[in-house]
Amino acid sequence: MFTSPTIPVYTITLLRHGESIGNAEGYIQGQQDFPLTECGRQQVQALADCWSGKGAVFDQVIASPLARARETAEIISESLKLPIEFDPDWMERNNGQLQGLSRAEAAEKFPRPAFIPPFQPIAETGESQWELYLRAGRAINTLLRRAPGRYLVVAHGGILNMALYAILGITPQANFQGPRFRFGNTSYAVAVYNPARHDWLLERLNEQISEQANGQVSK
C-alpha cells in the first residue's frame, strides 16, 4: 500500500466506513442510508492524515454509494488527492425488512429462525448469505479486470466479510457459521494478488491507526 509494487500485482485495501448515525444509535443499517456522525468524520480524517503522513499511495478509490461509505471515501479522496468511483456492488447487504429497525425492534418483529440455510433471504425480502457472497465475488472480479495497481475499496462490514470469503476461497455456511472477520469503523484489511500465479496474500486485518486503538478518537 505504501510503496510501488515491483511486479504487476494488485494491492487491495478494504476499508470500512467511519461511525455512522446508525452505528451510534443501534439501528440495523443494511442499505438504509445513514450519514456519518461527527465522530465518524473525525475518525476518517484521522486515518487520512495518518496515511498522508506515512506517504500511503493509492491509484484509485472505489466506494459503495451509500452515504456513510460515500462520505468516508470523499474525505479520504480529498485529503490524498485521489480519483474516486462508486460501485453499487460494494453496497452493504440488503437486510430486507430489518433495515432501519433498532435491534430490539428487529428481535421482536423478526425473531431469528432456529435454522437458516445459506440460500434463505434475510427478513423475507433481503439477500441471502449466498447472494451476498456472489455479489462480493463479482465486485472482486470487476476490480481485477482493471490494470494491476493499488486500490482502496470503501465499503461495509458485511460485504467486506464476503469479499474476504471470495478472496480466501471460503464458502458460506448455514446459520452464518464459519469465520467472521472483524472490521471496526475505519479499520481495514490489505490483500495482495499476483495474477501470474493466482496467489493471494492477506497482509493486514482489522488494522487501525493508533489514535483509534488508544481510544483518542471516540464518541
Q: Domain spans of the chain?
A: 10-213
Q: Which of 11-20, 57-66, 96-105 has the lowest mean pLDDT?
A: 96-105
Q: What is the pLDDT of residue 3?
A: 47
Q: What is the pLDDT of residue 21?
A: 97
> 72-116 pLDDT, tens per residue?
999 999 999 999 999 999 999 999 999 999 999 999 999 989 999
Indicate the Cα dihedral angle 14, 18, 23, 27, nearest 10°.
Answer: -70
Which one from 17, 127, 131, 156 is the annotated catalytic residue? Answer: 17
Q: What is the pLDDT of residue 156?
A: 98
Whole-number percent of the chain with pLDDT over 90: 90
Average pLDDT over residues 199-204: 96
Residue 197 phi/psi, 5° resolution? -120, 0
**pLDDT of 6 over the 90 cut:** no
The SS3 call for residue 25 is helix
**pLDDT of 211 over the 70 cut:** no
**pLDDT of 214 over the 70 cut:** no
The model's confidence at residue 58, banded by pLDDT at 50, 70 and 90, is very high
**pLDDT of 128 over the 70 cut:** yes
Q: Which of 5-9, 23-27, 54-58, 206-210 has the lowest mean pLDDT?
A: 5-9
CATH 1.10.20.10 assigned to domain 10-213? The reply is no
Q: What is the pLDDT of residue 18?
A: 98
The model's confidence at residue 194, banded by pLDDT at 50, 70 and 90, is very high
92 included as an active-site residue = yes
Residue 37 grid coordinates: 456522525
Which one from 71, 92, 131, 207 is the annotated catalytic residue? Answer: 92
**pLDDT of 160 over the 70 cut:** yes
pTM across the whole model: 0.91
207 included as an active-site residue = no
The model's confidence at residue 210, banded by pLDDT at 50, 70 and 90, is low
In angstroms, the CA 74 to CA 92 distance is 18
Average pLDDT over residues 136-152: 98
> 164-192 pLDDT, tens per residue?
999 999 999 999 999 999 999 999 999 99
Per-chain mean pLDDT for the chain:
92
Closest to 51 in 3D by CA, of 219, 190, 214: 190
Average pLDDT over residues 116-141: 96
